[in-house]
């Protein structure tokens, strides 16, 4: 199994692209690519936009392509200040599938987040 990179609820799995590349979008948002947003805490997991492309395969599956080694940061969305919850996560050049972890509230058996589902990304593109 490939190495997995985990920062809190976010898991990035190295992925070898197969299939037809149907779109390639360079992230141009100066704040970076928000990979995940905390539901209650106001934090985000963000990648440096200068190093990222979103690759779509077979018009349905999306992957993150990191063009240069970078870090995923865990910051407060309102201020951009780092949190103390998670250290920066080093990510080497490569293509990654992003998955979100799942949390359950056992007292109510209520799912708090979806996991195993591929993340969708929102950012400004060229």
- Structural domain contains residue 118: no
Number of domains in the chain: 1
pTM above 0.75, yes or no: no
- Structural domain contains residue 23: yes
- Structural domain contains residue 73: yes
- Structural domain contains residue 122: no
- Structural domain contains residue 120: no
The tens digit of pLDDT for each residue in 36-74 reads: 888 778 889 999 877 899 998 887 788 999 999 999 999
pLDDT of residue 107: 56
Whole-number percent of the chain with pLDDT over 70: 79
Q: Is 51 left (phi over 0), alpha (psi -120 to 50) or beta?
A: alpha
Q: How far apart are the C-alpha atoms of 110 and 120, rounded to whole Å?
A: 22
Mention every residue, 6+ apart, whose C-beta is less than 8 A from residue 40: none
Sheet order of strands, 89-91 included: 33-37, 43-47, 70-76, 89-91
Alpha-carbon torsion, ordered 31, 74, 122, 53, to 10 deg? 70
Mean pLDDT of the chain: 79
- Structural domain contains residue 70: yes
- Structural domain contains residue 117: no
- Which residue segment(s) compose the domain that 81 sits in? 5-111
């Amino acid at each position: 199994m490939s190495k997995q990179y985990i920062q809190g609820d976010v898991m990035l799995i190295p992925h070898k692209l197969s299939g037809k590349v149907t779109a390639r979008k360079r992230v141009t948002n100066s704040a970076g690519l928000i990979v995940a947003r905390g539901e209650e805490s106001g934090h985000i997991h963000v990648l440096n936009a200068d190093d990222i492309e979103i690759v779509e395969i077979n018009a349905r599956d999306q992957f993150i392509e990191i063009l240069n080694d970078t870090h995923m940061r865990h910051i407060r969305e309102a201020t951009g200040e780092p949190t103390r919850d998670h250290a920066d996560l080093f990510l080497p050049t490569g293509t990654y599938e992003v998955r979100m972890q799942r949390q359950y509230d056992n007292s109510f058996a209520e799912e708090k987040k979806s996991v195993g589902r591929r993340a969708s990304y929102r950012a400004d593109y060229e």
